[in-house]
Amino acid sequence: MSDTDKLFAGSIPALYDRHLGPLLFSGYARDLAGRLAGLEGSLLETAAGTGIVTRALVEALPAGTAITATDLNQPMLDHAASALAAPQVTWRQADALALPFEPSSFDAVVCQFGVMFFPDKPAGFAEARRVLRAGGQFLFSVWDRIEDNEIPAVVHDTMLACFPDDPPGFMRRTPYGYHDTDRIRRELLDAGFRHVEIETVTLRGRAPGADGPAVGFCKGSPLRHEIETRDAGRLDEVTDRLRQALARRFGPGPIDGKLQAHVIAARR
């Protein structure tokens, strides 16, 4: 994974939340939060990003559940905190691979579409287990293959067409690069978890048109850094080419594409 894969700063958090949140993440956030409905006690969220899952958790969980939402990127947390006023939520910058919490501190750990960004996934799993109480649950999601996600597949193919000699590999490499369920199960068991359950969940990604997704991917995700590294002057052009490619694939009106992810639940 490139260092730029983890850069979420500047205008990226707001564009990410506005354009990619409803398209890719909100449906899975509701699904993930629903699996924890009724949880009481304390919950840790890692890689909370702009707070999409945090907001869903506040809606789904009892008001007495204490939620600690963390992310490596302070700009993402700042955006998340500005969009949610909830007394049960504490925001804290933290590295999921070196959590600043005592062992057995939480009843559940949640991470939506963040594990793929961990440079050392087994270390991240070990940290989640360390801060869980006995019997606690680690619940997280990862994207399935990019070929099983119709909208991101168009993004990846468009980048190949825009930069044929040096195509950006962010999409396939990172967000859609950790989907082998046998490997995921093995690494969780090696980290000391038990009763690992993996469910493949298929939803639909929808947007009013192609403009928002094009801006979200090209200007509101780490893909932006790969485009600008190759030719900063082409950012608007590449964004427009993606808009055109999405419109060709899904039609000139609303976007509606298949999304597919794995939801994993592991017990300590």
Residue at 46 is within a domain:
yes
Residue at 116 is within a domain:
yes
Looking at residue 10, what is its pLDDT? 64
Place of tokens 């009013």: 208
Residue at 214 is within a domain:
no
Place of tokens 């907001």: 55
Residue at 26 is within a domain:
yes
Task: For residue 16, count CB atoms less than 10 angstroms from its CB and return exposed for 0-12, middle for 13-18, buried for 19 or more.
Answer: buried
Q: Letter for the amino acid at 70?
A: T
Most distant CA pair in the chain, distance:
54
Q: Which parts of the chain register pLDDT below 70?
A: 1-10
Cα(147)–Cα(258) distance, integer angstroms: 10
Residue at 110 is within a domain:
yes
Q: What is the CATH number of the domain that holds 120?
A: 3.40.50.150
Looking at residue 12, what is its pLDDT? 85
Looking at residue 234, what is its pLDDT? 98
Residue at 165 is within a domain:
no
Residue at 38 is within a domain:
yes
Using alpha carbons only, give the angle 180, 185, 187 rounded to the nearest 5 degrees.
95
Range of 82's domain?
A: 19-156+170-205+255-267
- Per the structure, the count of domains in the chain is 1
Distances (CA, A) of 146 to 119, 194, 201, 259: 20, 28, 14, 9
Cα(231)–Cα(36) distance, integer angstroms: 44
Q: Under 8 Å CB-to-CB from 180, ≥6 apart: which residues?
A: none
* Beta strand segments in 154-217, E: 194-207
Cα(95)–Cα(104) distance, integer angstroms: 17
Residue at 13 is within a domain:
no
User: pTM value?
Assistant: 0.94
Looking at residue 11, what is its pLDDT? 72
